[in-house]
């Protein structure tokens, strides 16, 4: 009884608000099916984190231990990249390499957001971490934020996954504003063509070597992504490829989501900068879409 009364006495408004936020995230995951694999564990973890005297956090709490083992070491995001690599079929890109330019143009929002964030008062590392929300890639956002702005990891993660789920709502107005009705009705011709299995195998190896030579700092992310793709394309490790796509991806996603929530304590999360990050994340997605559409119109 004393413990219960002590816990109730320590309840703060910020903790209550964050518990409500956690419940809302769970509702969005279940009812609206918005990124349920991440928002549900993040939401539940937020509740665990904000209950007074919670044994889930603290020096020896399981969420703290998982954070140190999986996020501080960058292990969880890298394992997710193995799973993502095993899911990716690069055949369309190998058939039409010029399509890479469209993908590059669609990163325009990242740079716009970095500039705006820096002008808004964030330092360059924080601005870069916020800008990477525009990559529309949750694991990358987590990886970059943890490396350069760990104090912003919670809001950046929530913004990244929330806006990924809201792409069907965010993109159509931007696309309609930048294209005519006639342009939206254009039918693209399908160009069939085979890509040899040898090319598919050599591609991840070559990309890893090139990335390692020219951008060594990116080698962990790109290397793990390409390793996952090599598991897929080598055709002699089908069971491992399927395990990476399913079991590995699912387990690490659960751990990643509930662990990130340990950084969503009310006293740190409920700040004006969290709102700024949510706004800047939206800016990143809008300008990503605009950049890709305008480049395609050239």
Query: Does any domain span residue 64?
Result: no
Angle at 120 between CA 273 and CA 131, to 5 degrees: 75
CB atoms inside a 10 Å sphere around CB 198: 9
Stretch 22-44: mean pLDDT, rounded?
90
Burial of 3 (0-12, 13-18, 19+ CB in 10 A): exposed
Whole-angstrom distance, CA of residue 149 vs CA of residue 152: 6
pLDDT tops 60 at residue 2 = no
Stretch 82-108: mean pLDDT, rounded?
88
Domain around 256 = 2-53+90-178+193-297
Under 8 Å between Cβ of 142 and 260: yes
Query: Does any domain span residue 219?
Result: yes
Token pair in block for residue 241: 């490829």
3-state DSSP of 159-222: HHHHHHHCHHHHHHHHHHHHCCHHHHCCCCCCCCCCCCHHHHHHHHHHHHHHHHHHCHHHHHHH
Stretch 91-107: mean pLDDT, rounded?
85
Query: Does any domain span residue 237?
Result: yes
Tell me the percentage of the chain whose pLDDT exceeds 70: 95
| pLDDT tens string 121-149 | 999 999 999 999 988 888 889 889 988 99
pLDDT of residue 192: 64
pLDDT tops 70 at residue 7 = no
pTM: 0.84
Number of domain units in the chain: 1
User: Confidence band (pLDDT; 50, 70, 90) for 298?
Assistant: confident
Query: Does any domain span residue 18?
Result: yes
Burial of 148 (0-12, 13-18, 19+ CB in 10 A): middle
Query: Does any domain span residue 223?
Result: yes
Q: Which of 16-25, 86-95, 121-130, 265-274 shows the lowest per-residue confidence on average (mean pLDDT)?
A: 265-274
pLDDT of residue 4: 55
Query: Does any domain span residue 83?
Result: no
Sort residue 121 into left (φ over 0), alpha (ψ -120 to 50) or beta. Answer: left
**Cα dihedral angle (257, 248, 29, 162), rounded to 10 degrees?**
60
Query: Does any domain span residue 159?
Result: yes
Token pair in block for residue 154: 């919670």
| pLDDT tens string 194-229 | 889 999 999 999 999 999 999 998 899 999 999 999
Under 8 Å between Cβ of 119 and 110: no
Distances (CA, A) of 131 to 41, 51, 74, 178: 24, 32, 19, 23
Tell me the percentage of the chain whose pLDDT exceeds 90: 48
DSSP designation for 268: H
Query: Does any domain span residue 99?
Result: yes
């Amino acid at each position: 009884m004393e413990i219960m009364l002590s816990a109730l006495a320590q309840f703060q408004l910020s903790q209550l608000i964050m518990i409500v936020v956690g419940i809302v995230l769970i509702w969005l995951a279940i009812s609206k099916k918005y990124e349920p694999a991440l928002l549900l564990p993040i939401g539940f973890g937020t509740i665990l984190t904000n209950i007074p005297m919670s044994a889930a956090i603290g020096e020896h709490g399981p969420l703290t231990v998982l954070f140190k083992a999986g996020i501080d070491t960058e292990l969880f995001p890298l394992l997710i990249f193995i799973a993502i690599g095993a899911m990716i079929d690069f055949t369309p890109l190998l058939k039409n390499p010029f399509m890479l330019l469209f993908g590059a143009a669609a990163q325009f929002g990242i740079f716009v957001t970095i500039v705006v964030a820096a002008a808004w008062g964030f330092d360059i590392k924080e601005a870069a971490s916020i800008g990477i929300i525009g990559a529309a890639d949750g694991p990358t956002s987590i990886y970059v934020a943890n490396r350069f702005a760990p104090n912003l990891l919670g809001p950046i993660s929530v913004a990244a996954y929330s806006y990924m789920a809201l792409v069907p709502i965010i993109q159509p107005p931007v696309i309609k504003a930048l294209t005519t009705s006639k342009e939206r009705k254009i039918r693209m011709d399908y160009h069939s063509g085979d890509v040899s299995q040898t090319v598919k195998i050599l591609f991840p190896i070559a990309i890893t070597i090139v990335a390692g030579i020219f951008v060594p700092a990116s080698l962990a992310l790109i290397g793990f992504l390409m390793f996952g793709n090599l598991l897929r394309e080598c055709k002699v490790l089908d069971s491992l490829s399927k395990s990476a796509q399913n079991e590995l991806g699912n387990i690490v996603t659960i751990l990643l989501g509930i662990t990130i929530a340990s950084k969503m304590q009310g006293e740190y999360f409920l700040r004006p900068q969290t709102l700024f990050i949510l706004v800047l994340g939206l800016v990143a997605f809008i300008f990503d879409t605009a950049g890709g559409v305008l480049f395609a119109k050239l």
